[in-house]
Amino acid sequence: MATNWRPDLSDVQVVLSLKPREAAYFNILEYCRHIGVHVVSSHSSFWVARVRKRNGTYMQTRLCVASFNQVIVADFEQAKMLAKAWFASPEVSKVASDPYPLGSKRALNICPIGDVYSVGHALKAYLDWKLIAATKSHYETLVGLINYHLVPRISHVPLAQFTGENFQKLAVDVLETPPKFGRDDPKIRNKIQDLSQEELRKRKKTFNALVSVLRGSFEIAWEHGHLETDRSMRSLRRLPNVDRPRVVFLDRSECRSLLDASHPDLRVLILAALYTGCRANELTAMQVGDFSFQTKSVFVASPKGRKTRHVLLPPEGVDFFRRETVKRSSGERMFRKANGRIWGGEYRSYFLRARAEAGLPNSVTFHGLRHTYASQLLQQGASLLTVADQLGHANTQTVSATYGHLTSQSRADDINRCFVPIAPAGTDKSIVESEPETSASKVISLPLFKRSDESSWPRSNHSRFSGSLLEQIRPTEMD
C-alpha cells in the first residue's frame, strides 16, 4: 500500500521507511508551524522546519541530521526542540504569521460560576450533553455558534429572568451580525433593512439554529431542576421563510463536460459522487471493503450524522466500483490519488479548476453533485422516501423541502393513475366538456417557485412577535 502523504514522524520506523524525494515530509506542530524530514538519499535524511510568513509564502531551514545509513541520529523530540528555538528567533518571528492550535475550539469562551444559574450555565450543560450525543463535527459547529453569537450577548442573564424582551433583542443582534469564517475578523454590522433577500434568509437560518440550541439548553435546565416555570422556554420562537428549493444542479450533459475537464484523480471522485450521492468526506473515508457486489451497494460508515447507511448502486455504478476495488485489500482507502496520497481538502481546488474549464457557473460546488444525484432521481419518478434513504436523511422532510419542486411530473402521473373518476362512463359531453388530448397536455410542469417575487420577509406574524422587532423584519410596502 502506498505511503500516507502525512506520515507520523514521531515513529522511528516510519522515518526510516520514507523514500527519497525533492520535497520534505511534514507534520503540523501548530498551524503556520511545521516540522519535517527531508530524505535526500537512501543513506541520509535531515530534520527541517518551516513557518508560514505573513505574505503567504513559507520560510524553511535545515535543523540537523535525522538518520544516516538507516540509523537514527536525532529523534522527533530533539528536532522539535530545535524547531521551536528557530521559530522563536528574531529573524523568524518578525516575518512569521501568528500560530494557532490544531483543530477547532471545543469549549465555551467562558467558565460560568456563581450561585445564580445563568444562560451560560445552561449552555455549558447543553454542550456537556452534546459532547456525548453529537458527532465531533456537529459539536464543534455548535461551540463556534454559541461562542460567536450567544456567549457575549446573553450568557450573563439569569436563566429564570430570561424573557421575550431578551429574545427579541438577541434576534435583532444576530440578524444584523455578519457571519464569521475561520479566524477572520468580524465584519461591520448591517441594519436589517439594508440586507439583501439572500443575506436575510441565511441570517434567519442561523438564528433558527441558535433557537434550537437555546431550546435544548433550557429543556436540560428544566430537567435538572434549575427552572420553576416554562416562561423562558415559551419565549423562544423560530423565524419563518428560511428554506428555499435547491436549484443548483447539473444535467447529464453538464456532468459529462465536468468529467471531461477534470484531472484523472478528480474524475474518479466525481463519478463516485454521481453514482452514490455521497458527501466528499464520506467518499474520502470509504474503504475498499465497503463495496459489496452481492448487495450491489456501498456502505457509508463515516456519515455527517451517526446514522450509517447502505447506498444501492445502479448497474453502471456497480461496474465502476468493481473496477475500483478489484484485487485490492479491503482495509485500504478506496479513493486515492495516482501518487498514492489520500484525499484531503485539496479536492476543492481540483474541482474549481475543472469547473472553470467546463464553463460551469461559480454556484456549482462538489457538494452540488449530491444535489444532482437527488434531483435526477426525483425527476425520473423516484419517491421521496427512496431518495431520503439513499442520502441518509432520517425522514423525507428535508428532501421534500429541498427538492420537492422537482416532483411535479411524478405527482401528475400519480394523480392520473390513482384518481377514481366521478362521472360515469359515456357521460354526455354537454355535462363534462373535454378537450382533445395533445402531446403538450400530457406533461404538467409546475413552476419552480410559488411566485417570482418570493421574499424572505414574513407575510404573517408566525412568530407571534409584536412591537419593534416585527417592524424591523417586515417592510411596510409588503402587500
Identify the pLDDT of residue 240.
82
Q: Write out the three cell numbers for 326.
A: 478489484
Task: Label residue 435 by pLDDT band (50, 70, 90).
Answer: very low
Q: Region 379-403: what's the mean pLDDT?
A: 82
Range in 34-43, 93-102, 449-458 with the lowest mean pLDDT = 449-458
User: Which stretch of 71-75, 353-357, 411-415 has the lowest confidence by average pLDDT?
Assistant: 411-415
Residue 463 pLDDT greater than 50, yes or no:
no
Residue 6 in this model has a pLDDT that exceeds 90 = no
Binning pLDDT at 50, 70 and 90, where does residue 247 land? Answer: low
Torsion of CA 387, 392, 397, 399, to 10 degrees: -40
Q: What is the pLDDT of residue 138?
A: 86
Q: What is the pLDDT of residue 400?
A: 78
The residue type of 299 is: F
pLDDT reported for residue 243: 64
CA 318 to chain centre: 27
96-100, 132-136, 391-395, 430-434: range with lowest mean pLDDT: 430-434
Kindly report whether the global pTM for this prediction surpasses the value 0.75. no
For 410-434, what is the mean pLDDT?
64
- Cβ(125)–Cβ(224) under 8 Å? yes
pLDDT of residue 198: 86
- Domains present along the chain, CATH in parentheses: 12-93 (3.30.160), 119-234 (1.10.150), 252-407 (1.10.443.10)
Give the pLDDT band (50/70/90) at residue 113: confident
Does residue 463 contact residue 239 with C-beta atoms inside 8 Å?
yes
SS3 per residue for the chain: CCCCCCCCCCCHHHHHHCCCCCCCEEEEEEECEEEEEEECCCCEEEEEEEEEECCCCEEEEEEEEEEECCEECCCHHHHHHHHHHHHHCHHHHCCECCCECCCCCCCCCCCCCCCCCEHHHHHHHHHHHHHHHCCHHHHHHHHHHHHHHHHHHHCCCEHHHCCHHHHHHHHHHHHHCCCCCCCCCCCCCCCHHHCCHHHHHHHHHHHHHHHHHHHHHHHHHHHCCCCCCCHHHHCCCCCCCCCCCCCCCCCHHHHHHHHHHCCHHHHHHHHHHHHHCCCHHHHHCCEHHHEECCCCEEEECCCCCCCCEEEECCHHHHHHHHHHHCCCCCCCECCECCCCCECCCCHHHHHHHHHHHHCCCCCCCCCHHHHHHHHHHHHCCCCHHHHHHHHCCCCCHHHHHHHHHHCHHHHHHHHHHHCCCCCCCCCCCCCCCCCCCCCCCCCCCCCCCCCCCCCCCCCCCCCCCCCHHHHHHCCCCCC
Q: For the segment 120-175, what is each residue's pLDDT rounded down to a tens digit?
A: 999 999 999 999 988 888 898 899 999 999 999 999 999 999 999 999 999 999 99
pLDDT in tens, 284-319: 999 999 999 999 999 998 666 567 899 999 999 999
**Per residue in 324-349, pLDDT tens?**
999 999 999 999 988 888 888 889 99
Which percentage of the chain shows pLDDT scores above 70? Answer: 81
pLDDT of residue 56: 85
**Which of residues 461 and 427 earns the better pLDDT score?**
427
Q: Which three cell numbers stand for residue 360?
A: 460551469
Residue 4 has pLDDT above 80, yes or no: no
Per residue in 216-255, is it b (16+ CB within 10 Å) or e — as a string? bbbebbbeeebbeeeebbebbbebbbbebebeebbeeebb
Whole-number mean pLDDT of the chain? 84
pLDDT of 190-208, one tens digit each? 999 999 888 898 899 999 9
Say what the pLDDT of residue 188 is: 86
